[in-house]
Chains A and B, each alone.
Chain A
Amino acid sequence: MRGGAIPVLAWACLLAVLMTGNAVWTGDAIQIGEYGFAVLTIVLVAAALVRADRTAIRRGAPEAPSRPRVEASPDLSFAAVLAAIALASILFGLTWAYFLVYFGAGLLIMSLGRLALELQAARASRERFERGSPPERPERERLP
């Protein structure tokens, strides 16, 4: 989207200047390392935005698309919730009770499988909409 990467890059430049001051003044490896990480992360974010859309680096307001962009938007995602709980369960298990690590790993695999089905259903819905077909029954009814 037009202009989205400009403030990100501008901010990365400001950070780079301050990081250079830090490197010259302190010469501390840890400080340069963590500051360098932050600058690199922000530059990578800007690069990703430009890669996704070249106009992200051009000034001006976003224009209305000539053809409306259709987007499949989920109302619910149990897969996302389960994946988060799985991750928490693994870390909690490391601290508290090891069986939770296995439980979390199993839950993570299940949730990723469910996520794949959700994404597949979303793509199918979008394609149907673009073809002009009537919407099919909701994904929840089709999933096992």
Chain B
Amino acid sequence: MSATAPSVSTVSRASGLFGAAASTDHKRIGLNMGLASLLFFLGAGVMALLMRTQLAQPHVRFVSDQTYNELFTMHGSTMIFLFVTPMAMALATYLVPLQIGASSISAPRLALSAFWIWLSGGIIMQLGWLTEEGAGRSGWFAYVPLSNSANTPGVGQDLWTVGVILAAGGLTIIGGCVLATIARRRAPGMSMMRMPVFTWTGLVSVLMVVGSFPVVILAMSLLYAERLGARVFIGYSGAIDYQDLFWFFGHPVVYVMFFPFLGAAAEAIAVNAHKRWFGYAAFVASMLAFAALSMSVWSHHMFTTGGVTNQYFATTSTALAVPAGIEYFDMVATLIGGAILLRTSMLFALGFFLQFLIGGLSGIFVASPVLDYHAEDSYIVVGHFHYTLFAGSVFGFFAGVYHWFPKVTGARLREGLGKLHFVLLLVGTNMTFLPMFFLGNDGMPRRIAEYPNHPGWGTLNLLETVGAGVIALGVLAFLVNVVVSLRNREVAGEDPWLGHTLEWATSSPPPRHNFERPLPPITSYAPLLDLRERAQRDASAVRVPAGRGGRGPWPQEGAP
């Protein structure tokens, strides 16, 4: 039984575009948000390709300096506000109610409104491209005084600011809906310590969203007032205050973009290794600690400003390695002894963990203020965050896509094309982002529209540009895979992978209220695996009668 049965539909269904646009079904809202995010991702990818073309060789003038500034600002803003964060929220919106056995999301109208507020913000942000002065161009963090109206005049930057307010507002509201769903709509038997791993990662993410996103709304509102002529951020201390407000959102959002994809990769690994996720309780505790610490490290982005207490932030930043280590330990321990199937989702999950390791380890270096003074504003930082967000989160996202695509559509993605997609993305990602560490160490600054003919820089930059092209081919392979798989469907059935969690106990795609049959008994965080193990035990108990070394056909006392 789902947690909220029975429910009464109060408005008749509408099909077509109107039905899809105004549906309060959490699955439709999640899907709409995911599809819109994917479109923004493609746009951000085109911007990245344009930038890489400009940087392919020294002194290339493919776009003007101002256009280059607009490109890196809008690429970063689109990836963070309009692709990775909303995709994480879309996954949570779609999957969390299914995983906890709920028939719907809490406050579905509010969730629907949140989607449209976020989408409007995204569109308004991109409308800057159509203005005479161009789109926002003061970086995705819009530091004051660079982003004030004297230094960045024009409507494009205003539209960017308003777009961020709306996008962050929408994401905060939808985060609140997911949080309320987890807290209030779990099925009977689903205690907090029986929630699936993905749901836990979703929970800590939305806690961070609710705690930190309102601060960026405040920061952007103050920036907007500043652009209208109010004197809000005055002098050096004003600039530091703005950065404090921005990064109080800006660092937690990195983890909001990481945790749900960690959950997706963890689910894919456990299912493809045919094992329970190892060390569940330690994982949950480490997630809570990880999230709390990641709310406490924001000023490591400001080490070199001289305006913050570096010791505190260096300590908390370095401490992040402990919960991260627990998660890696759990991942490795889950793989040990497992019957591993290298499906595409598993490959992406492994890619996520291995590449995020590079991002994480380079993070330990820049968590030290002494080393950060060397790395600040160089390509080392660009390499570091692309390894965490692209080589990490985006690989985790694709692990989730290959894992849950059959649940969402009822059709499997093609494994051959999936593996081609994986190989292209893996090669392209490392070709593009690994040379950044060498370039940065050699002194190449970030955010420059052209660079001098320094020995070695041209070759490494060319390698990066070719790598970006290979990434684009990988994304193309994915799109072809989606089209081919939807046109010539391989019917997936309810549970094609022998999943562990409740979303696999309903039809694919799930019905309007998620579950039309009673739910299986929820005895752990992997109820379907419990069911299969119990059936296996029962079968073997029947084969070996009690009294001859067997345990008997009845349920054992204390058995899960």
Contacts and interface: CB of A to CB of B under 8 A. Distances in A.
Contacts, number: 237
**SS class of chain A's interface: helix, strand, loop or mixed?**
helix
Contacts of A34: 215, 244-245, 248
Interface stretch (B41-49, B79-87, B309-317, B540-548): B309-317
Contacts of A15: 211, 292, 295-296
14 contacts: A2-B191, A4-B184, A18-B293, A53-B184, A63-B188, A71-B7, A71-B8, A73-B8, A84-B116, A85-B116, A91-B166, A95-B162, A129-B8, A138-B12
Contact of A61 (B25, B191, B244, B248): B191
B165 A75 contact: no
B408 interface: no
Contacts of A64: 1, 188
Interface stretch (B14-22, B259-267, B435-443, B549-557): B14-22
B558 to A, nearest CB: 17
B9 interface: yes
B166 A87 contact: yes
Question: Which 8 A-B pairs rank lowest in CB-CB distance, beginning with the nearest?
Answer: A88-B120, A4-B183, A84-B116, A138-B12, A38-B211, A61-B191, A14-B292, A64-B188
B192 A41 contact: no
Given A4-B184, A31-B299, A80-B112, A141 B293 contact: no
Given A31-B299, A73-B104, A84-B112, 9 more contacts: A3-B191, A38-B211, A38-B248, A41-B210, A61-B189, A74-B10, A75-B13, A87-B120, A118-B11
Given A60-B191, A80-B24, A26 B312 contact: yes
Interface in B146-185: 155, 158-159, 162, 165-166, 170, 179, 182-185
B4 interface: yes
Contacts of B509: none
Contacts of A30: 241, 244-245
Contact of B8 (A18, A31, A135): A135
A136 to B, nearest CB: 10
B8 A77 contact: no
**SS class of chain B's interface: helix, strand, loop or mixed?**
helix
Interface string B93-112: 00000000001100011101
Interface in A49-88: 49, 52-53, 56, 59-65, 68-81, 83-85, 87-88
Interface of B: 1, 3-14, 18-19, 21-25, 103-104, 108-110, 112-117, 120-121, 124, 155, 158-159, 162, 165-166, 170, 179, 182-192, 194, 203-204, 207, 210-212, 214-215, 241, 244-245, 248, 288-289, 291-293, 295-296, 299, 308-309, 311-312, 316, 512-513, 522
A126 B11 contact: no
A68 to B, nearest CB: 6
A21 to B, nearest CB: 7
A96 interface: yes
A53 B190 CA distance: 16
B437 to A, nearest CB: 30
